[in-house]
Structure formats: structure tokens, C-alpha cells
Amino acid sequence: MVDKDQNKGHTEEPENASRRDFLKKSGYAAGGVAGGLVLGGLFGQFDTAEEGANSDQVEQLQNARTFFKRREDFETLAYASERIYPEDENGPGAIKLGVPYFIDKQLAGYYGYNAKTYMKGPFQPQKSGEYGLQTKLNRGEVFLHGLRKMQEVSQKDFGSKFAELEGEQQDEILRKFEANEIKLKGVQSSIFFELLRQTTIEGVYSDPVYGGNKDMQGWKMIEYPGPRMGWANEIDAEEFLSKEPMSLKEYQGGNL
């Protein structure tokens, strides 16, 4: 039943070819690295059809875009975040960890709308960086400006969509944004890049409740145990203690 709905989603989306392309280019689809597991996971974040476990289905029902309206913007975001925190032999990258959904949820809330930020003018957006964020644009708008410009640069420089480029080509574009070589309206491209980088890393390592760090795999990679009442008995231990992580949900005592 759920599968059927998800399959419907699958057929409506024309970008599957580009994602397969991405997998092929990255060497994952060749089956060498981790084969089907990686493939299932990567697709899982978008299409979810391959995975069947109940808990996964529930979690995946929470993974829909709420801030980004255009799928294209979201896809650019996803592939850019994957280059910042890529899949490797240590474990999953940004896409499999749910980072694009994390960023989407952040931008849909007070953070994206700058609700706790001083937003009165006059504005001098070119002074961003030197004086922190000085844009009239809120963070969500900065993301939209930046991602659409990435797509534009991608078409201009390489003749295809960002999501369809080779990893190295994607990096080349990201480096231009990082170095503030791209002109954006109302914000420096380097400011956009820093927000993208910062939120990508936050999505990898913040509690799964926010939509990233899927199955606490970010924490497992970095051997971070999550919240605990305390470490009074372990604090003076000589050896490094590697613990199974605990989520905020478990720490708070589970469901009401």
C-alpha cells in the first residue's frame, strides 16, 4: 500500500536517470564498493521503494520537501551536500544521512526565516562576512538564490544540470562559490557556500530528530555516543570509551 504510493512518486519524477548516472560515475552502481546496500540507501532517500521495513517507512513519510518547492532546487542541494560530505569507506554521505531533508526542515522554520535575527535596514549585504550576515535576504532566500545560480553556472560551464555532472565538475563549481567568484543578487556567493557547508555538517551530526544523521550513522562514524544523564563514573577513565549512541528520543524516554 505504502509501496504503491511511493512507486507513484517514482514514476512521476524524471530525474531518475541522472541519479543513476551519478551512481555510475561515482562507481557505486558498479557493485564494487558496497553494491546494493549503498544503491538502496541512496535511492531510498528520494524514492524509498527499495526499502520495506516498517520503521523505515515511517521515517520516510517524514522525508518530504516542506521548504523547497521545486524538485530541481532540492536535487541541486542534495548533490552539493554530498560533495561536501561524501560517501566513503567510513560510511554514508550527506544524501544517505538525510542531510538534504535536514536543511529543508531548518529552512522551513524560524532559522530559515531569520525570525530571531535583526532584520531592520539599511542593509549593506556586501559587508556580510566582515560583520556576519548582513543580507536583506533571509537564509531560505539565500539558499534559493545560491542553488539556482549553481544550476545556471552548471549549464553555462558544462552544458548540463548540476546533479548530472561528474563529481570533480561539481567540486569546481562549489569552489567558485566558496571563493566568492560568482555574483549573486543581495548576497555574496561565499556566504551562501558557508551556509551550505555549515548546515551540511550540522545535518550529518545533529540528532536524527531534525531529519539528518539517519539511524545515528553520523554519530557512529565519529563515535559520538549522544546524550546521557552523565559520565560521572567514566570521566576519569584512561582509555577512550566507544559507546553505542543514544538518540534524544530514547534519552527523553521515548514516546508519550
Partner 1 sequence: MATKLDKVDVVVVGVGWAGGIISAEMAKAGKNVVALERGDHRDRSDYIGQKDELKYDSRYEIMQPLSSDTVTSRNEIGETALPIRTREQMQLGFDVGGASVHWAGATYRYWPYDFEMRSKTIERYGEDKIPEDMNLQDWGITYEEMEPYYDKWEKMAGISGEQDPLAPKRKNEWPNPPLKETPPLKLFKDATSNLGLHPFQIAAGNMSQNYTNPDGQTLNACMYCSFCTRHGCDFSAKSDPIATVVPTALEHDNFELRTRAYVRRVLYDSGNQQATGVMYVDEETGEEFEQPADVVVLSAFAFTNNRLLMLSGIGEQYDPETRKGVIGRNFNGQYNSAFHGARGFFKNKRFNLYMGAGALGAAVNDYAADNFDHSDLDFIGGGAIELRQYGDAAIKSNYIVPSDTPRWGKKFKEDSLFYAYRGLHIWYTATAMSYWHNYLDLDPNYTDEYGDPLLRATYKFGENERNIGKFGVEKCREIMEEMGADIVEEDALPEEFDHVYAGGHYTGGVVMGDDPETSAVNNYLQMWDVDNLFVVGGSAFPQFGSHHPTPTIGALAYRAAEGIEKYMDEGGQLAKAKTKSHKA
List interacting residues with partner 1 (CB under 8 A).
83-86, 88, 90, 93, 111, 115-120, 122, 124, 127, 130-134, 171, 174, 178, 197, 200-202, 204-207, 210, 218-219, 221-225, 227-232, 234-238, 240-241, 248, 251-253
Q: Least CB distance from residue 13 to partner 1, whole Å? A: 28
CA distance 109 to 102: 11
Q: Least CB distance from residue 175 to partner 1, whole Å? A: 10
What DSSP element (H or E) covers 83?
helix 71-84
CB closer to partner 1 out of 133 and 184: 133
Q: Least CB distance from residue 16 to partner 1, whole Å? A: 25
CB closer to partner 1 out of 2 and 221: 221
CB closer to partner 1 out of 5 and 250: 250
Q: Least CB distance from residue 201 to partner 1, whole Å? A: 6
CB closer to partner 1 out of 46 and 85: 85
How many helices (H) and strands (E) would you count in the chain?
11, 0
| 121 three-state secondary structure | coil
CA distance 225 to 227: 7
**Closest to 200 in 3D by CA, of 83, 73, 62:** 83
CB closer to partner 1 out of 48 and 193: 193
CA distance 203 to 6: 24
Q: Least CB distance from residue 77 to partner 1, whole Å? A: 14
CA distance 84 to 26: 14
Bridge partner list, 130: 132
